Amino acid sequence: MPLQGTVSFKDVTVDFTQEEWQQLDTDQKALYRDVMLENYYHLISVGFHMTKPDMIRKLEEGKELWTTERIFSSQSYLGE
C-alpha cells in the first residue's frame, strides 16, 4: 500500500474552545488527557521528532490546559 503522506502531531489531536473544554466533565477531561498523551508517545516511539508541546507538558503534570481561546492557538508543530 503506498504511503498517504506524513502525519503531524496536529493531525492526531483534538482542539477545544475554552467554552467546549469547560463543558467536559472530569472523566471526559481524563480521557482526553490519556488519548492525547498516548498519541504523542506513539508518534515519538515511531521516530517522529518534535519539541514537546506545552499542552503535553501540562497534561503530564496534571495541570489544567486552559489558556485563552484555543488549546493549540500558539503551538507550533514540527513535521507539518
| Interval 42-78: pLDDT, tens | 888 888 887 888 888 888 888 877 654 444 544 444 4
Residue 8: pLDDT over 80: no
pLDDT of 47: 82
pLDDT of 68: 46
Distance CA 76, CA 10 (A): 9
Q: What is the mean pLDDT of residues 27-41?
A: 91
Q: Where are the domains of the chain?
A: 18-61
DSSP 11: G
For the record, the C-alpha cell of 50 comes out as 518534535
Residue 55 CB neighbour total at 10 angstroms: 21
Handedness of CA 29, 70, 58, 37 (dihedral sign): positive
DSSP 69: S
The answer, as to whether pTM is greater than 0.85, is no
